Amino acid sequence: MSRHPQDLDVRPITDSEIPDWIRALHTGFLRSPHVSDQELAVRGGNITPARTLAAFDDARCVATFRSFPQELTAVGGALVAADAITNVSVTATHRRRGLLTRMMALDLAAAKERGDVVATLTAAEYPIYGRYGFGPAAHTAEWTIDVPRTGLERHRPVLDDGRIDLVDADEVRKLGPELHERFRRAVPGAISRGDRWWQLNTGALRFDDDEWTEPFYAVHRSASGEIDGLAAYVSDDHWGDGKRPLQTATVKSLITTSPSAERVLWHYLCSLDWVTTVKSGNRAPDDLLPHLLPDPRAARLTTYADTLWVRILDVVRALEVRTYATSGTLVLEVVDEAGLAGGRYRLQAGPDGAECVRTDQEPELTLPVGELATLWLGDESAVRLAALGRVREQQKGAASVADALLRTSRRPWCPDIF
Ligand SMILES: CC(=O)SCCNC(=O)CCNC(=O)[C@H](O)C(C)(C)COP(=O)(O)OP(=O)(O)OC[C@H]1O[C@@H](n2cnc3c(N)ncnc32)[C@H](O)[C@@H]1OP(=O)(O)O
């Protein structure tokens, strides 16, 4: 007989429960409840039972949750230990009765105990995670480029003194990780990519053979021969009537470590014969892209949304690890209903470093822990949040001081979904 969700145990799974847990995940995500043996093997091989949670109603798994270790780049390039949360689902028959709340509380308590500085996730829907102390900390933008409108001359692709080569997947798995290591240290909001990311994104590991289209991989080398850009893209082989090639090239991933490589790779993509539309995929919200085109209006913004959500678990380490362009002092009252990171903190920061200590001084700015995450990666304005009633100035001008300290000239970006 099925039991009330409040009476179900929430616990990590065992090895033998991995297939049922994956089927429950598929059910919760409205994919087919049938999962192929190949997918069970590939997904299952990546699951550490001690970092999972589940609820079972008799024999049926009805809730899934998983976390894994990740590094998140803070402002200034330091890598912080993150508890990355993924595969969250509660089966439709058991929703809205607290199962997610219970799984989240267990996972965040374990992450805090381990010493993780933050927890991270990408949210399926905006309203789910704010209640657990997460705040949207990085955004994504996707553009659709109308190539004939760009003003670029297709027959004369812009080059610099470097070169572009097409390489195969084996080569990408060899050279990609080192490029990504350099890339991610320069991009607050970027996250670590393990071997598995490279295997899954180059077809070496597949959930389903039928769904894989091998991309083209274009590597850019600078004049000195250093690899400073990598673009993976596919094209759709679409032809219009009158024998007109009308192909759409979709970028799967494009990372660079120099603006020059960025410019050359986008111009290369816009110079491909037969391609009249380029879809950018996930880009930084302040990407250079539209302005790399003589007519930036040729790039139409088709998606703008939050991607990376952050939950601060250790305020002192989070604020001390990042860098600050200006000097200042701020006393923050951080409100955390879960009791993990709340309290009053005094931040004294400047270009030479920062110190954050607990204090009993009068607070200047009061804010929920989720709003602190939104400010921490440099993307949001405290003045704007004050106008929205999401942070409260206890001392006039405190939000402006927070902006001068915390905001950054470039916006954070998380290129990966997890
Ligand atoms: C990181 C990731 O994996 S993102 C993927 C998240 N998963 C999905 O979106 C799959 C489909 N949805 C689900 O599986 C479930 O609805 C979940 C996991 C989102 C929520 O699970 P539940 O067990 O229903 O959540 P729970 O009962 O603990 O809800 C707690 C509160 O959040 C609210 N809430 C939960 N989900 C949502 C939502 N999608 N939108 C708005 N509010 C929500 C509930 O109403 C409840 O509010 P209350 O405390 O005021 O009553």
Spell out the domains of the chain, with CATH numbers in brackets.
5-133 (3.40.630.30), 141-304 (3.40.630.30), 314-406 (3.30.1050.10)
Q: Is the CB of 97 inside a 6 Å radius of any atom of ligand 1?
A: yes
pLDDT in tens, 245-292: 999 999 999 999 999 999 999 999 999 999 999 999 999 999 999 999
| Atom number in ligand 1 closest to CA 85 | 1
Is 129 known to be catalytic? yes
Q: Is the CB of 150 inside a 6 Å radius of any atom of ligand 1?
A: no
pLDDT recorded at residue 26: 97
pLDDT in tens, 103-138: 999 999 999 999 999 999 999 999 999 999 999 999
Residue 96 annotated in ligand binding: yes
Q: Is the CB of 308 inside a 6 Å radius of any atom of ligand 1?
A: no
pLDDT in tens, 67-101: 999 999 999 999 999 999 999 999 999 999 999 99
pTM exceeds 0.95 for this model: yes
Is 418 known to be catalytic? yes
Residue 97 annotated in ligand binding: yes
Nearest protein CA to atom 14 of ligand 1, as residue: 89
| Cα–ligand 1 centroid distance for 121 (angstroms) | 14
Q: Is the CB of 95 inside a 6 Å radius of any atom of ligand 1?
A: yes
Q: Is the CB of 128 inside a 6 Å radius of any atom of ligand 1?
A: yes
pLDDT recorded at residue 4: 77
Q: Active site residue: 68, 129, 217, 324, which one?
A: 129
Question: Which 3-state string (H, E, C) describes the chain?
Answer: CCCCHHHCCEECCCHHHHHHHHHHHHHHCCCCCCCCHHHHHHHHCCCCHHHEEEEEECCEEEEEEEEEEEEEECCCCCEEEEEEEEEEEECHHHCCCCHHHHHHHHHHHHHHHHCCCEEEEECCCCCCCHHHCCEEEEEEEEEEEEHHHCCCCCCCCCCCCCEEEEECHHHHHHHHHHHHHHHHHCCCCCECCCHHHHHHCCCCCCCCHHHCCCCEEEEEECCCCCEEEEEEEEECCCECCCCCECEEEEEEEEEECCHHHHHHHHHHHCCCCCEEEEECCCECCCCCHHHHCCCHHHEEEEEEEEEEEEEECCHHHHHHHCCCCCCEEEEEEEECCCCCCCEEEEEEEECCEEEEEECCCCCCEEEEHHHHHHHHCCCCCHHHHHHCCCCEECCCCHHHHHHHHHCCCCCCCCCCCC
Region 186-202 average pLDDT: 97
Report the chain's mean pLDDT, rounded to a whole number.
Answer: 96
